Amino acid sequence: MSSRIRIGVALVVGVVIIGGAFYLRGQTEVLPTGILSVSGSPTRGSIAETDKNNNGINDWEESLQTLTINSASKTGTAIAAGGDYEPKTLTDRFAQKFFEEYTTSDASGSSDPAAQQAFLNSSIAQLSGEALDTPYTQKDIRIGDSSPQALRDYGNNISDIVNRYSGASTENELTVFARVIDNDNAKDYQTLTNISTAYSKVLADTLVLAVPPELASSHLLLVNAYLAVQADVAAMANAKTDPLYALVRVKRYEEDAKALYAVFNTIYSYLYSSGVRYASDEPGSIFQVAGN
C-alpha cells in the first residue's frame, strides 16, 4: 500500500473516532430495536459505554479503530497492474477521498485545531449520502379489497410474517453488534448475517401481500422501513471488512428502528379504529393496539 494511502487510512481512523459522537457517546435515549426478537411486545435495548483501560476512549471506539485499520490495509485494498489504487469499500473510498481533499485544503497546513476539526466535521457530514436506499413505490405493492375480512387478514398476515422469521435470534441486533465491537467474534458476525437474512425474507413476504387500499400508504412505509433496517443490520454484519459503512448505517439505525415501530403502531391503530379485534391466539394480537 502506498504511503499516500497509508496516511489516508491514518486520517480516516481519526474521522471514525470523532464520528463516534454520532453513535454512542452522550446517548441517553434507549433505542427501540429487534422487531424479530419480539415476544408479546417490542423490546428495547442500548449499548453500555465502557472504558476498561481508562484512557478516555470508549471501548467500542478502540475496537472500531482496529477494524478500520484491518479493513483498509488487508481486505478492501487492491492495487491494479498499473499501480493505481482501487478502493473496494466505503472505508477505502473515503480514506482515499479524505486524504486527497485534505492535502488541498487550508486545514492541511493549519495548526489551528478549530480549522482541522471543522474539516473533519464536514467530511463526516458527507458520509450521510452513503446510507441512502432506493425506496419501493406504489407500483411495487399489491392492492386488494377493503372488506372487514381483508383488513383482519392483513393484520394477521403481517404479524405472521414477523413470527415466521423470529427464530433468527433471541436478541436484538444492536445487542449483538455491541459484542461484535467488543469481542470481534465470528459467531456474532454470523448472528447478524442471520438477522439480516431474516429481514430480507420478511421484506420479500410482506411485498407480496394483498393490501387493503386504506393501508396502501402505511404498507409502503412498512416495506421501506424493513428495507432500511435490513441494510443497517447487513452493514453491521460486514463491519470487519467495511467498518466505516457500518458506522454510517448504525448512525441512522435509531431513526430506522423508530420508523418501523411507528408504522406498526399506525397500522394496528387503524385496524383497531376500524373495529378489528384479535383473539390472543391470533398473530395480530402481538401488535394489537388499543385505541387512544
Q: Check whether residue 193 and residue 164 sit in a common domain.
A: yes
Q: Check whether residue 99 and residue 138 sit in a common domain.
A: no
Per-residue pLDDT, 216: 97
Q: Check whether residue 109 and residue 168 sit in a common domain.
A: no
- Average pLDDT over the chain, rounded to an integer: 74
Radius of gyration of the chain (CA): 22
Q: Which residue has the higher pLDDT, 121 or 280?
A: 280
Residue 67 predicted with pLDDT over 60: no
**Structural domain count, the chain:** 2
pLDDT in tens, 209-233: 999 999 999 999 999 999 999 999 9
Domain boundary pick from 130, 147, 162 = 130
Domain boundary pick from 130, 161, 196 = 130
Domain boundary pick from 67, 95, 130 = 130
Q: Check whether residue 119 and residue 199 sit in a common domain.
A: no
Given its phi and psi angles, is residue 141 left (phi above 0), alpha (psi -120 to 50 degrees) or beta? beta
pLDDT in tens, 6-58: 444 444 444 443 344 334 333 333 344 566 764 344 443 444 566 677 766 65
Q: Check whether residue 29 and residue 105 sit in a common domain.
A: yes
Residue 192 predicted with pLDDT over 90: yes
Q: Check whether residue 143 and residue 278 sit in a common domain.
A: yes
- Nearest Cα to 19, choosing from 183, 249, 271, 254? 249
Query: What domain range includes position 143?
Result: 134-286
Q: Check whether residue 138 and residue 126 sit in a common domain.
A: no
- Cell numbers for 5, please give them: 494511502
Asked if the structure places residue 292 within a domain, the reply is: no
Q: Check whether residue 110 and residue 142 sit in a common domain.
A: no
